[in-house]
Amino acid sequence: MTNVAKKNDAGVCQKNFMDDKKNGVEKKIKILCVFGTRPEATKMAPLVLALKACRHTETEVCVTAQHREQLDAVLDAFGIAPQYDLNLMTAGQSLSDIHMRALKGLEEVIARSKPDLLLAHGDTATTFAASLAAFYAGIKCGHVEAGLRTFEKFSPYPEEINRKLTTVLSDLHFAPTFHAKENLLKENVPPQSVFVTGNTAIDAVKYAVRANHVFKCEALNKICEGSRLITMTAHRRENLGRPMENICDAVLSVTENFKDVTVVYPVHLNPKVRETVFAKLADKARIILTEPVDIFDLINLMARSYLVLTDSGGIQEEAAALGKPVVVMREVTERPEGLAAGTLLLAGTQTQTIFNAVAGLLTNKKQYEDMANAKNPFGDGYASERILEAVLQVFGINTE
């Protein structure tokens, strides 16, 4: 990774950049940040704040609202007010619906904003649509969290293809790790366009975690002391149906066999997820099902947990930054760095293998401590500053 930029007490980039003036007026880089889901917003929020704090950039935000309620909670938490809101979310929307409406909406936004650079994050329908819209408009696109790969076309679905297509369309690639950079280089991405920055998810964790946090979700303030808490999330499209049933059966078995364990599961709004989860886990002892919680509640819940169960992507990074062992309920992960470092345990989606993985961490102290103390491979909390520095360099704003 590059050197960490100097910061003042507020954490704002404090480097002395050479002014690029035209007709006596400093020329700023116009940047449009586009995102649409809660995970994207969580990871882009620290970057948006860093860009807005820099005197060399003029930054606007466009949200597609691919996730409406969960997205708004993140925007409120970080104090970000979008200049453009496409408000795309509709009941029962398909991937094709999202892509078509996002592409058309972003075409109009780009025409109004006239950015020099569009920044998109990760691997969602919004990400791909934003990179394609930037290509059609002839403007540069920067891909934040570039280079993640499972090399499995349908796992995760549709994320693996979204991020690969975004790579083809992007001009700047902000890879969170050297492994991600190697993935890009193997796909013939020009080396000079790839920057290893760390993951902005770690920036968000650093921003959000508080020792004295009071949960907005009242149920979380009432969790009994003395329990070993497990934070759980599960919602992936490829896990719908039988895999989700297996996951629920495994969790129920954990609480039945370990009486000191309490599982907290903020249930995704997808009706197919909720149908299975509530049928299997509602009103079960020491399993707390809540509505989706805001990102500050989720991060601080993980910080108070013994371990984390998830099929999410970003949580694999966030929990590792908090020193919490993560059991990944997927067949593959695009974050092999966590497996190599020992922060992640890949359990698959079979009931017995998930149960065995969790039981091992609950009973084997050495295994638990090895994972809890493993070095987090996903960054140090300064990814946003590194991305900002790279953008300034690309646009010819030199530092002393």
- Quick check: is 179 catalytic? no
- Quick check: is 97 catalytic? no
Q: Which one is catalytic: 121, 143, 235, 330?
A: 235
- Quick check: is 121 catalytic? no
What is the C-alpha R_g of the chain?
21
For residue 342, what are the contacts with CB-CB under 8 A and spacing of at least 6? 370, 371, 374
Q: Which one is catalytic: 40, 159, 317, 385?
A: 159
- Quick check: is 145 catalytic? yes
Q: What 8-state DSSP symbol labels residue 6?
A: P
Q: Which one is catalytic: 40, 60, 85, 145?
A: 145
For residue 21, CA distances in Å to 6, 75, 200, 287, 392 come to: 24, 33, 31, 60, 14
- Quick check: is 268 catalytic? yes
Q: Which one is catalytic: 85, 123, 160, 238?
A: 123
- Quick check: is 370 catalytic? no
User: How far is 297 from 306, CA to CA, in rounded Å?
Assistant: 16
**Under 8 Å between Cβ of 191 and 201:** no
Q: Which one is catalytic: 268, 286, 335, 386?
A: 268
Q: Which one is catalytic: 58, 116, 213, 237?
A: 237
| Residue among 4, 26, 25, 24 at smallest CA distance from 15 | 4
Cβ–Cβ contacts within 10 Å for residue 238, how many?
Answer: 19
Residues annotated as catalytic are 123, 145, 159, 235, 237, 268
